[in-house]
Structure 1
Amino acid sequence: MEQLKRNAQAIAVGASATFIGIGLERFAYTPLIPALIAHGWFDASAATFLGAANLLGYLLGAVSAQRCSARLGDHRLLALACLLSVLSFVLCAVSAPFAWFFVWRAVSGVTGGWLMVIGPSIALSSTPPSDRPIIGTLAFMGIGAGALVSALAVPSLLEVGLTLTWLMLGFAVAIAAVIGITAHAGLPAAEPAVPPPQPGASAPRLERSIVVAVVLVCIAYMGDAIGFVPHTVFWVDFLERDVGLSTTAANTQWAIFGFGALCGPILAARLVGVSGWRNGLAIALLVKAIAVGLPFVAVGLVARSVSSFAVGALVPGVVAITSGRIAALVGAQNHKAFWGKATALFAIGQAASGYAMAGALSVTGDYRTLFLASGVILGAAAACALASGSRSLQV
């Protein structure tokens, strides 16, 4: 019974962190883009670059998460990230200059990077090895929950006004923050990743084959970051302003994306149970490549709905499988350090892709080529995942 309670607390910490860090701070902005343009707060180019500001901040957060965690401790960093996350929404509730919004969208990215590194790591390190596959994937259900909440709530809130929408999103972040911080306070302190070094002792090293596998997994994860940008940043705007769907129809597709994201971690757990971590990651990336590239050739109701659901499911699905694959390679107690590096590479790919695609769109206005290019990159990422071998320290 005590272990069941601890597992529930671990899921609450991980899911609240992913709910805030990606589910709301990233995905809630996507359906806001057309409204920001329509209400005259920003033009199309500025609104797109504000989406990319979050990606830049995410890079800074991912790179600094391990050092900030070591300096402040997980609980203080978790609380700080949650506080800044709330402010990043509340302080964007009124029309302001581009620079003001850029700063706070970047702050939301920084806190998202922190939360995505420490949240899942806390969840994994607080549970026994036998429970880690399911706990590690359920921790990422927050991504889907946030996407679904934003898809269902934001359109209704926008009918009242942009100010209320920003404030209510900040309120949702605050509720999730209380849940996560309270759950973390009830967990026992995690064991250190490695024992303190003895004088004159050399640092422990992983086998070469494990190192190569981790590098290939990180490259695959970086490819995933590049490839999913069109759907997670531009999808609603593409459907509404390029395809010509109504606001309601475009937001319905975002709701399908959100529902897929909610199902993704559960489907990922089933996939890993059948095929293992390595093959599961390769399969997930290959399916995602097809789904991301689909809008290049077809945007009819069935095609766009399949693309929305599949990409939505595989956003948290690939993250969850990658996290589990790294834990299997290096061990749960070393997970935070290596997961932080993987998240940093992911953030680099994501930020570079976001700014490159935003720049390309401002010049050409051509969304469809971005979907094709992203699909090709995801296919290459699947090949890297498959080439990472089958070695692991633990299942």
Structure 2
Amino acid sequence: MKLFQARIIGGGATFVGVGIARMAFTPLAAVAVHQGLWPTNAPSKIAAFLLIAYAAGATTAPWLLRKLKASRLLQISLFLSSLCLVLEALSPTVGIWLLTRSVLGFFGACLMVSGPILALSLGTPEDRHQTQFWTFSGIGLGACISASLIEFRSELIFMLIPMILLCFGLFTSSLYWAESPEPSLNSPTDFRVSLPKLLIFAYGLDAIAYIPATVYLSDYVSNELGLEVGNELWQLFGVGAIFGPYLATELSKRLGSATALHLAYLSKTLALLILASTEHIELLALGSTLTGACVPAIVLLTAAELRRILGTQLFSWAWSISTSIFACSQAIGALTMAFCFQLLHSYQPLFVAGTLLLMPACFLSFKSLQHQSS
């Protein structure tokens, strides 16, 4: 597999795994409810199944990698994701979507593990800087497209057709491209080698803060600020998500990935603080854009730090475990916040909770930076 092919496959994997499987669900669910296909409580039920399946997929992915290898797992995940989208287009019922979004969640997590592992196994260290940008830009692209779908609300099937074609295109490309020497899922044989715990704890806290930063942000701007204003703010989130990986890569080159990651945590904390404390449209626009930029940036920089600290040989092992921790923390956080929202019926406390969770994440990232500098 050539380097440019690895970058396309890596970016496509994160785009499908997060962009289509998860972020695009927000506008698709809104359209289904608007068209009377679903009751109003259906999206929250399906989203819960999706998150639990994502956690299950991330937890199972290391075992699947050992059995199938990264390229085969990626191909199977893309193929089944494509079939699920076809089934959703043919039968947009709640029961079918509970099944398909669970499958998409499970294999979306597998794509988030296998795609970066496969893409970042090729090239020189300088090449990998660019590869990580292209790979994790898929998250930003998914956020941007999901934001655009909110603006262009058409029939559900017409929103799904481009996703189906893209998924099948990526699957076909992977059959021809992703047949190369496999990166191994090496676990450390030396007991002194371990995951950077501060970095992983911070990533787990960010996973919970991800819920108000994405799911409840989209609900908030659409339901409480009106559809027109909500569309504009969610599109700014998408614009931020497109530029986030680029800014993270540039900061990583100039300041180092540890410093860049600490700045990303500080920026996301500020963004959620803005969302929690004001209803002024200009400030909400700033908070939404900042949040969008930080979502993919933190994922990219965490992967970069893991690769820098542990080396390329152990990156596959570390990334699969980190993704599992992220997904499980997120599922627990989502269920807890859903329960709290049912009691409070207000979005602001959830933004406050996200801010409070990110404060120790900022501290942990700073301590990790100090530890790496000493």
Instruction: Calculate the TM-score normalised by the size of structure 2.
Output: 0.92
Q: Which amino acid aligns with 2:182?
A: A
State, as a whole percentage, how many aligned pairs show the same letter: 29
Aligned to 2:360: 380
Q: Which of 175, 182, 190 is equivalent to 2:182?
A: 190
176 and 249 in structure 1: CA distance in 2 versus 1, 3 angstrom threshold: farther
Q: CA deviation at 1:37?
A: 2.5
- Of 156, 159, 162, the residue aligned with 2:156 is 162
CA contact (8 A) 1:92 1:101 kept: yes
Distance 1:179 1:191, change over 3 A: closer
Shift of 1:174: 2.1
Tell me how far 1:302 sits from its aligned partner. Answer: 1.5
The CA distance in 2 between the partners of 1:328 and 1:307, in whole Å, is 30
Instruction: Give the corresponding residue for 2:309.
Output: 329
Q: Deviations over 1:96-155 (max 9, x none)?
A: 554432221111111111011111111111122232223223210011112222222454
Indicate how the Cα distance of structure 1 residues 304 and 204 shifts in structure 2: closer, same or farther if over 3 A, else same. Answer: same
Pick which of 44-53 and 142-151 moved more: 44-53
Q: Hey, what's the Cα distance between the residues in 2 that align with 1:252 and 1:178? A: 35
Q: Does 1:254 align with 2:254?
A: no
Matches of residues 6-155 of structure 1 in structure 2 within 5 Å? 6-93=2-89, 98-153=94-149, 155=151
Counterpart residue type for residue 297 of structure 2 = G
Residue 225 of structure 1, CA deviation: 0.7
Contact 1:11-1:135 within 8 A present in 2 as well:
yes
Segments of 5+ residues of structure 2 without an aligned counterpart are none
CA distance in 1, matches of 2:329, 2:185: 27
Farther-moved stretch of structure 1 (217-226 vs 47-56): 47-56
Aligned length: 372
Deviation at 1:13, TM superposition (A): 1.7
Secondary structure at the counterpart of residue 126 of structure 1: coil
Q: What residue identity is the alignment partner of 1:29?
A: F
- Structure 1 runs (4+) deviating above 4 angstroms are 94-97, 389-392
- Does the CA contact (< 8 Å) of 1:17 and 1:180 recur in 2? no
Q: Alignment RMSD, CA only?
A: 2.2
SS at match of 1:204: coil
Per the alignment, residue 199 of structure 1 pairs with none
Residue 205 of structure 1 aligns with which residue?
190
Q: Residue deviations 1:50-102, cap 9 Å, x none?
A: 22322111111111111111111222211110011112222222565544322
Q: Give the partner amino acid of 2:140.
A: G
**1:223 match: secondary structure:** helix
Contact 1:17 1:119 in 2 (8 A): yes
Equivalent position SS for 1:306: helix
* Unaligned segments of structure 1, at least 5 residues: 196-202
Amino acid in the other structure paired with 1:357: M
Give TM-score, length-normalised by structure 1. 0.87
Offset, 1:283: 1.3
Q: Residue in 1 aligned with 2:219?
A: 237
2:197 to 212, 215, 228: 215
Instruction: Give the drift of 1:181.
Output: 4.5
